[in-house]
Structure 1
């Protein structure tokens, strides 16, 4: 029997994160475009300079309601008509608010790009913000808040922000507002926030996909180019300050069979030259199933299904300052809370004393750099990363440079970065669980003063 010859792999193709082309529309909108052959679904990201710290006092959550209202009708179409037009395009439209600003996302087949960009421009240029639609969005948001409070991971994140940041800082409060502040929001408040902060001169559009045969300048001129408004300077943001005095806060959930762990502090963001080494070291500590934390807490001790460490950029400013949340998260069964924290701190202290191994460093580099071509295979992932760079005031080639730096980073440098990121005596620990069962074992560890708050 003869078989067809087995296929053999071809030569490896060099890969680098895509570089965008920059341009601008007459209305002031900055445009970043990136041609990705074969990506027939085009991704569009619009970065609006409407950060959470710009929300009026007592109206936390108005940015979120505004973002959600962009799809709820315009000066030409009702909410139902707008949704129907999106469906006819085969498009998805989403928007959310965060500390850096409001992000509007669109994905659509390239064959329907012109129509979808027209709808996007219409939503940005003339949103209806109808009273009944805003009232419905407010009610929906109020319904979500109790569900979020019942989620241990969300509750832990809320408490950690409250603990780390000063009470007057917007970062200390829930990103999408509280029941009290959201209940005050009406269409007039949403309209006022929109008029104060949403304009093309401070916005950026990122467009990624197979743009062969697309006259993008003409298409943009006909759609987003119709969006005009008074010019303005980009928002200024206050510096980020935080108190990382080592301490433990238990959010009491009587009868809970698990304890949610969230341990964190703030540290350098992507503007700091230590960022690649910090990414590498953090990945070795808790970025995957082969990391130190998982090897001890999951494989050896069986306390958890998984523990992760990560760095998440909070906000950056034009002068190159900012901060990232550095955190360790996971959950353990209630009885194992004390032992699990004890072993977690032993991992941190051992890391500080003995450092990472070359083998750990090599595996991390292979995973982080080797998976990049797959991670950025879709237009949406490339567009989202480029938009992140815009919001964080980073150069267009930043992500490409990060991968080059990761390859060059040695074991000693990665060790120094992760030890600095997670000092055993400067971490705020939030535990959501049964205080009656876990408070005393945690106090015995001596990792900081223990406080119990209601859940």
Structure 2
């Protein structure tokens, strides 16, 4: 039997995160474009300078309702007509609001880009904000809130934010508002927020995909270039104060068979020099199935299906007053809540006393850097990362430089960053579970004051 010769791998081609071209339209809209040959689905991201802390007092959630209402009709199309036009283009349009600002995302085949960009510009330039549509979105949001509170992971995240930040800080409250604040929102409030914060002069559009044969400058001038609005100074933000005094808060759910864990504190944002080392160290601690936390809590003890450690930027500023959330999350069976926490703290103490191994560091860097070309295969992934850089006031080559820094990060540096990120005596622990079963075992661990709150 004769077999076909086994194919041999070719030489690996050097890879770097793609660099965008930057320009500005006559109306002040900043443009980042990135030509990606072969990417026939074009991704467009719009950054709007409308952060959650700009919401009027008592109207938490108005940014979310406004974002959802952008595609619910314009001065030319009703909500149904607008949706039908998007469908004819084979396009998807989404928008969401978060602490750094608002993001509008469009994906469309390159052959239909012109039509879809016209619809996107229409939604930004002249949204209808019809009373009936806004009222429907408010009702939908009110229906969502009880479901979110019933989700242990979402409930834990809400409680951790409330514990870490002062009540006067917007970041301490739910991103999409509470039942009380959302119920106050009407079309007038949505319109007022739009007029105060949505304008081209403080916005950025990112376009990524195969732009062969597309006169993007002319297309943008005809569509988003027709969007008008007054000028505005970039917003400044106050430093984010946080209380990471070591303590435990139990959100009581009688009869729960599992306990949801969320352990966190605040840390530096991506402008800090420690960020690359912190990524590597956090990955070694809990970034994958082979991390230390999983090896102990999942493989050795069988307490959980998985525990993860991560860093998430909350807000980044030009002034260097940004912050990130550093957290460990997972769930364990109720009877083993105390032992699982004890072992988790033992892992953190061992990390501080013995450090990471070179093998752990090497595996983390290989995973973080080696899979980057796969991670950014799609235009949407590239566009989203470029939009993140804009949102966080980072240079255009930040992501490319980050991978070089990750590759240079040593074991000692990664260890120091991980230990600094998760000090054993400065962590706020939120447990969503059956307080009658877990309170006493948790108190015995001595992790700080233990408080029980109602669900």
TM class, shorter-length? over 0.9
CA shift digits 1:108-133 (9 cap, x unpaired):
00000000000000000000000000
Contact (CA 8 Å) 2:265, 2:426: kept in 1 or not?
Answer: yes
Matched, 1:316 2:316: yes
Counterparts of 1:432-447 in structure 2 under 5 Å? 432-447=432-447
Contact (CA 8 Å) 1:320, 1:393: kept in 2 or not?
Answer: no
Report how far residue 256 of structure 1 moved. 0.2
Structure 2 CA distance for aligned equivalents of residues 163 and 335 of structure 1 = 25
Give the TM-score taking structure 2 as reference length. 1.00
SS at match of 1:317: coil
Structure 2 CA distance for aligned equivalents of residues 265 and 359 of structure 1 = 28
Moved more, 322-331 or 312-321: 312-321
Report how far residue 235 of structure 1 moved. 1.6
Contact (CA 8 Å) 2:238, 2:321: kept in 1 or not?
Answer: no
Report the counterpart of residue 17 of structure 1 in structure 2.
17
Report the counterpart of residue 409 of structure 2 in structure 1.
409
Contact (CA 8 Å) 1:276, 1:402: kept in 2 or not?
Answer: yes
Matched, 1:163 2:170: no
CA shift digits 1:148-184 (9 cap, x unpaired):
0000000000000000000100000000000000000
Report the counterpart of residue 428 of structure 2 in structure 1.
428
Counterparts of 1:19-418 in structure 2 under 5 Å? 19-418=19-418
Structure 1 CA distance for aligned equivalents of residues 7 and 355 of structure 2 = 43
SS at match of 2:45: strand
Structure 1 CA distance for aligned equivalents of residues 382 and 441 of structure 2 = 46
Contact (CA 8 Å) 1:201, 1:232: kept in 2 or not?
Answer: yes
Structure 1 CA distance for aligned equivalents of residues 18 and 178 of structure 2 = 40
Structure 1 CA distance for aligned equivalents of residues 210 and 165 of structure 2 = 43
Report how far residue 320 of structure 1 moved. 2.7
SS at match of 1:129: coil
CA shift digits 1:26-47 (9 cap, x unpaired):
1110000001111000000000
CA shift digits 1:377-418 (9 cap, x unpaired):
000000000000000000001011110001101000000000
Structure 1 CA distance for aligned equivalents of residues 312 and 444 of structure 2 = 31
Unaligned residue ranges in structure 1 (runs of 5+):
none
Structure 1 CA distance for aligned equivalents of residues 337 and 188 of structure 2 = 48
Contact (CA 8 Å) 2:283, 2:364: kept in 1 or not?
Answer: yes
Report the counterpart of residue 448 of structure 2 in structure 1.
448
Unaligned residue ranges in structure 2 (runs of 5+):
none
SS at match of 2:396: coil
Contact (CA 8 Å) 2:310, 2:328: kept in 1 or not?
Answer: yes
Structure 2 CA distance for aligned equivalents of residues 282 and 175 of structure 1 = 25
CA shift digits 1:301-336 (9 cap, x unpaired):
000000000000000111233110000000000001
Structure 2 CA distance for aligned equivalents of residues 10 and 351 of structure 1 = 40
Report the counterpart of residue 2 of structure 2 in structure 1.
2
Structure 2 CA distance for aligned equivalents of residues 220 and 385 of structure 1 = 21
Contact (CA 8 Å) 1:70, 1:123: kept in 2 or not?
Answer: yes
SS at match of 1:308: strand
SS at match of 1:208: strand
RMSD: 0.5
Contact (CA 8 Å) 1:63, 1:190: kept in 2 or not?
Answer: yes
Give the TM-score taking structure 1 as reference length. 1.00
